[in-house]
Structure 1
Amino acid sequence: MSVAATAGPDILSEEFAADPYRAYRVMREQHPLIWHEATQSYVISRYADVERAFKDPVFTSHNYDWQLEPVHGRTILQMDGREHSTHRNLVAPAFRGRDLMAKFLPVIEQNSRDLVDAFRRDGRVDLVDQYATRFPINVIVDMLGLPKSDHEHFHRWYSSIMAFLSNLSGDEQVMADGIRTKEEFEAYLLPIIRERRESPGEDLLSTLCSAEIDGVRMTDEEIKAFCSLLLTAGGETTDKAIASLMRNLVANPDQLEAVRADHSLIAAAFAETLRFSPPVHMIMRQPAEDVELSGGVVEAGKTVTCLIGAANRDPAKYADPDSFNLLRTDLDLGRAYTAGANHTAFCLGRHFCVGAMLAKTELDTGIAHLLDAMRDIRFDGAAPPEHGVFTRAPSSLLLTFTPA
């Protein structure tokens, strides 16, 4: 049977925005399948259902035709079958361990050091404003070989596109701003892509322009769309992951000191942050045929809102799921940054985030730099709340510290 009417918590309510985790518990236990009229989507919250929506081929990403294409153009996320595998293989090598470390680790390290050096002697920092929101965007701009003088343009475009993607309520002004940003980004980047085809360098944009598999190369529009997607997907996840990871560590001083003493634990702290307080809380899918999930049947072609934030705290999957514990044994650290992960923060299966290793490398580098620069880190006041529904993290993270 299908779900006939709306039931359970409303993902657009003020109560949900204030504390989604309480709502997630109610959803998992009492309303695992909700028809949400305002977003015209089914909402699922149990780990098993979200995992299936990400892995089962019956679930498509055709929802991105209306969700992403207006601001990005047609991206790799909208492709299926051979087209998807070919385009993924065109871009993936630049984000794998060997190439990533050899070509772009120095870019990552330098951007992190520059930002840390700007506040390391102050004894006080808003880590969101002065570091987290800037670090990943600056890295992406530099990886693409674009002028540092354009960093601020990218921050503005990034903010506008993310507002569009997070616009679950359908605000018309936000939609219009997003469309205008797409036009501005195209006017900026397409001429540069044409120049790199003629005179390639060692940067990521040149790599994308020259990549070829079985005679297939990306078009100018496809490269532009991928760069737009990288700007938001790569920027947003890393931005919010840094803020949430540092908040989680400062809120748990024993774990903070364990990571300070052993930087190899940063990867575990990041993986646990992805589970406990993921940067992205919901991703949509669309089944090609009727599918039975916990609580009922989802009809073919309907949108399914997969609640990552709920799935990652499902007690059927994790022990004591509402506690942050970087040493937990039910999170597979060996696969935490692969398509076989047993958390859902980077999606799973064929559409697993191609930039997962880039994010991990940025977190490994950035958190190490921050901990090396700051001692006796404390909240400047109360622990900051999280903000956001589609994506979520502290909007400000005021910390005091002793300069190292």
Structure 2
Amino acid sequence: MTTIPQPPDILSPEFEADPYSAYRVLREHYPLFHDPGTGSYLISRYEDVQRAFREPVFTSDNYDWQLEPVHGGRTLPQMSGREHAVRRALVAPAFRGRELREKFLPVIERNARELIDGFRDAEETDIVARFATRFPINVIVDMLGLDRADHDRFHAWYEAVVAFLANLAQDPAVTATGLRTSEELAAYLFPVIQERRAAPGDDLLSTLCTTEIDGTRMNDRDITAFVSLLLSAGGETTDKALAGIFRNLLAHPDQLAAVRADRSLVPAAFAETLRYSPPVQMIMRQPAEDVALSGGTVPAGSTVTCLIGAANRDERRYDHPENFDIFRKENAAASAFSAAADHVAFGLGRHFCVGALLAKAEVEVGVNQLLDAFPDMSLPDGAAPAEAGVFTRGPTRLSVRLTPTGRLGRGQEGGRKYEQE
């Protein structure tokens, strides 16, 4: 007889060490499971997670208690209907099209170059500490037109907000730090907001202060909440995605060589990393009425934990889902950064991540500049480092052996060069 394994405990050290084997157990035997540790219903199959992101019956009312306390106000993920449409229209133009390309791409390129300059001559460095975790936060601070001397301060706030959101075990110290951070960030931003309202500039914060649609403007609390959301959502995805891309490519040298030779494959490497090792592993929803899913019915008003990391490796959806493959046909890079994506790492439907194209721009610039600066990269001991985290996940350290371009002979530099000066 075949023994059915016990359901995994997603708050256990064993789960954090290897969530993907636990996801297989959930998909196969417990596609709908009421988890006692979190008090929520876990869903793990691609079809069910896709429905939870797309169907209006699955609301984001859970964010009233999950997000609002740490962000200090209502944010886009909480909103629906006209409120959501208008607020999204207020902020979305800054994260796409000409606004992103002409105004903020130079900011992204400059920040990548400055961080790489800090270890350009190194023989070995930690990509996470020296680049990935700093890069997106520095970009956000500069996009907002804030003091560049406060990069470190914003990075500390970012870490506190992300820790609050990832606090599934409800550690009171983590909660207290997150709430204190919300107050500190608001106190920092309120006087700056008043200055930008009186004398707006060409920065993102000025845009948030002055843009109006259908008679609606963002008030001070709306703006501070959006900045807090931008730090956590925008920072965490790019931070862990950059570390994840290099971890995955370094563990697959043939695919790293292919990307190095053909930089048009960088978006495919990002798309496959979002599927294979998504930075955000789970997102919650709250159904407005009873909903039938694989394995049973979810009661109205309950919390549903959508396991992105499980859905993105569902064997019902992908061929050989446990393999990292940048040439995968079922995860097209052309649609991977839109609401038509084949993966669910950015959500789907009306709440698809508004900053997906910003993340794509940051990752493409970061990957290309790192490959340009270091035409030979390898793992010092040949083994990819372990990932960590449950709510969000990625390597906490990624030591890489480097060969800077400066040590190579003329004509040996690899990759695409950016017109940065």
How high is the TM-score relative to the length of structure 2?
A: 0.94
**Residue 280 (1) aligns with residue 280 (2):** yes
Shift of 1:376: 2.3
Residues 133-144 of structure 1 correspond to what in structure 2 (within 5 A)? 133-144=133-144
**Residue 186 (1) aligns with residue 182 (2):** no
Residue deviations 1:134-174, cap 9 Å, x none?
00000000000000111111011001111110000010011
Partner of 1:383: 384
Residues 141-160 of structure 1 correspond to what in structure 2 (within 5 A)? 141-160=141-160
- Mapped partners of 1:229, 1:263: distance in 2: 31
- Mapped partners of 2:223, 2:255: distance in 1: 41
Partner of 1:3: none
Partner of 2:7: 8
- Mapped partners of 1:191, 1:376: distance in 2: 47
Shift of 1:210: 1.0
Residues 170-185 of structure 1 correspond to what in structure 2 (within 5 A)? 170-185=170-185
- Mapped partners of 1:120, 1:49: distance in 2: 46
Residue deviations 1:235-261, cap 9 Å, x none?
000000000000011111111011111
Task: Output the amino acid matched with 2:390.
Answer: V
- Mapped partners of 1:98, 1:323: distance in 2: 36
Question: Contact 2:197–2:209 at 8 Å: present in 1 too?
Answer: yes
Q: CA RMSD in A?
A: 1.0
For structure 1, the 5+ residue unaligned runs are: 1-6
For structure 2, the 5+ residue unaligned runs are: 1-5, 406-421
**Residue 106 (1) aligns with residue 106 (2):** yes
Shift of 1:355: 0.3
Task: Output the amino acid matched with 1:223.
Answer: I
Residues 194-343 of structure 1 correspond to what in structure 2 (within 5 A)? 194-343=194-343
Residue deviations 1:148-202, cap 9 Å, x none?
1111110110011111100000100110111100110110011111110100000
Task: Output the amino acid matched with 1:388.
Answer: G
SS in structure 1 at match of 2:8: coil
- Mapped partners of 1:333, 1:76: distance in 2: 26
Shift of 1:332: 2.3
Residue deviations 1:78-105, cap 9 Å, x none?
1110000000000000001221001000
Residue deviations 1:253-295, cap 9 Å, x none?
1110111111111000000000000000000000000001111
Shift of 1:339: 0.8
SS in structure 2 at match of 1:24: helix
- Mapped partners of 1:218, 1:376: distance in 2: 47
Residue deviations 1:30-87, cap 9 Å, x none?
1101101121100000000000000000000011000001100211111110000000
- Mapped partners of 1:201, 1:285: distance in 2: 38
Partner of 1:4: none
Question: Contact 2:66–2:165 at 8 Å: present in 1 too?
Answer: yes
Task: Output the amino acid matched with 1:109.
Answer: E
- Mapped partners of 2:142, 2:279: distance in 1: 23
Task: Output the amino acid matched with 1:116.
Answer: I
Task: Output the amino acid matched with 1:400.
Answer: R
- Mapped partners of 1:190, 1:49: distance in 2: 41
Task: Output the amino acid matched with 2:59.
Answer: T
Partner of 1:360: 360
- Mapped partners of 1:400, 1:97: distance in 2: 36
SS in structure 1 at match of 2:149: helix
Question: Contact 2:339–2:349 at 8 Å: present in 1 too?
Answer: yes
Superposed structure 1 runs of 4+ greater than 2 Å apart = none
Select between 326-335 and 249-258 the one with higher mean Cα deviation: 326-335
Question: Contact 2:60–2:77 at 8 Å: present in 1 too?
Answer: yes
Select between 326-335 and 276-285 the one with higher mean Cα deviation: 326-335
- Mapped partners of 2:120, 2:319: distance in 1: 38
SS in structure 2 at match of 1:156: helix
- Mapped partners of 1:183, 1:217: distance in 2: 22
- Mapped partners of 1:33, 1:283: distance in 2: 15
Task: Output the amino acid matched with 1:387.
Answer: A
Number of residue pairs the alignment of both structures matches: 399
Partner of 1:34: 33
- Mapped partners of 1:63, 1:155: distance in 2: 27
Partner of 1:43: 42
SS in structure 1 at match of 2:289: coil
Partner of 2:349: 349
Task: Output the amino acid matched with 1:44.
Answer: I
SS in structure 1 at match of 2:285: strand
Shift of 1:380: 2.0
Task: Output the amino acid matched with 1:385.
Answer: A
Task: Output the amino acid matched with 2:209.
Answer: C
Task: Output the amino acid matched with 1:71.
Answer: V
How high is the TM-score relative to the length of structure 1?
A: 0.98
Select between 173-182 and 327-336 the one with higher mean Cα deviation: 327-336
- Mapped partners of 2:225, 2:193: distance in 1: 12
Residues 80-91 of structure 1 correspond to what in structure 2 (within 5 A)? 80-91=80-91
- Mapped partners of 1:27, 1:120: distance in 2: 44
